[in-house]
Amino acid sequence: MKVGINASFLRKQATGIGQVTFHFLNELFRLKKESEILKNLEFVLYVEEELNFELPRDFSFKIKNPIYKRDDLVRKIWWEKYTLPREVLKDKCDAFISLYQCPTILDKKINHIMLVHDIIPKLFPNYLDNSRKKLYQKLTDLAIQKATRILTVSKNSKKDLIKYLAVDEQKIDVSYISVDTIFKKEIKDSESREVLEKYNIANGYIYVGGGLEMRKNVESVMRAYKLLIQDKDLAKILPDLVISGKFTKSLVPMITDVPSLIKELGISKKVKFLGFVEQKDLPALYKNALCFVFASFYEGFGMPVLEAMSEGSVVLTAQNSSLPEVGADAVLYSDGSVEDIARKLKKIILDKELRIRFSKKAKEQSKKFTWESFVLSIIDNIHKKQIFYNILYHKLYKG
């Protein structure tokens, strides 16, 4: 059986979809090497340009350069909707995996599994602020409905697909993703010191990360912190607030203007804005925080929460969308309002035993999310249940 994969986001590994693509493929490589069942599958990875990425046997790149060279939505639509389907049909793929939602619609004889991370533009129309984005979303909605099978990363996203796109419930499976393997490794004290010195911060801070989009609700966290500064009971022990995220002035008001808000609230002496932080520095930032705050209004999954939990961070997040699926009872929740965030943060700061308890629970909860189970879910959808159960049988009974 020949299986095609849209691996175009390998060229953008700093993005969420890029991370999922990278880790999906690496886990697939490992499983294929270990499993007799998967050896019968041939994989073709479709990309838009040459990549420095080593492939094992039975995997190959199909490079199809876009006609339109500028890296924008016009190129994206042309490659995903027209170029890719033509090449997949020409190569006689039996099945195809789209690792993100996109306008790709394939011939009906090809088993097309599409991974849908979320449908945020349907819920937050302000993201569709020009005609190109509206067209892309319209084409993507149609492709989601036309795919053979849908895999999504949370039960909440499945519910949204049924509600907003009228996708048949029986067509959708849920499989949780995991995080970068760097969050699974122990961090040495020397590594922590290096990162803290790099950003000129001391450990024990309140950390806010995961993006600055308005949907992430960073402003409410900053206003909550302002209330804590005014709390006389906390005056002497209040940790600094550390915020990270790529800030581009031209994207305001789609993103929170953190520098301006720091000045407006008069909290510059207690707040450190790091700007963009490299992925390699994030484990130490999570680990050395008193707590991590992620008060987002909506998430398809909530990868920053899982990253923080993997490092044993005490997490305060919002009780909405998919976030309770990730955090379960191992994190603290807020309703997202300024007052409630402030109350919950005060509780975390004052209660050391609570922090110890939730740090341990977070670490244990994070172990439930693995790339192996995610990859097996996709393979399950390629060849119904047979391969999936055979793999489990071999793993459990054949060693």
Q: What is the pLDDT of residues 190-230, one digit of tens each?
A: 999 999 999 999 999 999 999 999 999 999 999 999 999 99
For residues 266 and 225, membership in a common domain is answered with yes
For residues 204 and 161, membership in a common domain is answered with no
What is the Cα–Cα distance from 131 to 128, expressed in whole angstroms?
Answer: 8
What is the Cα–Cα distance from 301 to 152, expressed in whole angstroms?
Answer: 9
For residues 278 and 387, membership in a common domain is answered with no
> 236-271: string of b/e by CB count within 10 Å (b at 16+)?
eebbbbbbbbebeeeeeeebbbbeebbeebebeebb
Q: What is the pLDDT of residues 14-26, one digit of tens each?
A: 888 999 999 999 9
Q: How many domains does the chain have?
A: 2
DSSP annotation of 13 reads T
Q: Which two tokens stand for residue 321?
A: 């969308």
From the CB of residue 219, how many other CB atoms can be counted at a distance below 10 Å?
A: 17
Which pLDDT value is given to residue 393? Answer: 43
Q: How many residues does the chain have?
A: 399
For residues 231 and 89, membership in a common domain is answered with no
16 sits in which H/E element: helix 16-34
**CATH number of the domain encompassing residue 303:** 3.40.50.2000
For residues 125 and 203, membership in a common domain is answered with no
Predicted model pTM = 0.92
For residues 278 and 386, membership in a common domain is answered with no
* pLDDT lower than 50: segments of the chain: 385-394, 396-399
Bridge partners (DSSP) listed for residue 3: 43, 95
For residues 159 and 85, membership in a common domain is answered with yes
For residues 312 and 241, membership in a common domain is answered with yes
For residues 237 and 340, membership in a common domain is answered with yes
From the CB of residue 275, how many other CB atoms can be counted at a distance below 10 Å?
A: 13
For residues 232 and 197, membership in a common domain is answered with yes
For residues 386 and 336, membership in a common domain is answered with no
For residues 197 and 173, membership in a common domain is answered with no
Which pLDDT value is given to residue 387? Answer: 44
Domain range spanning residue 324?
A: 186-366
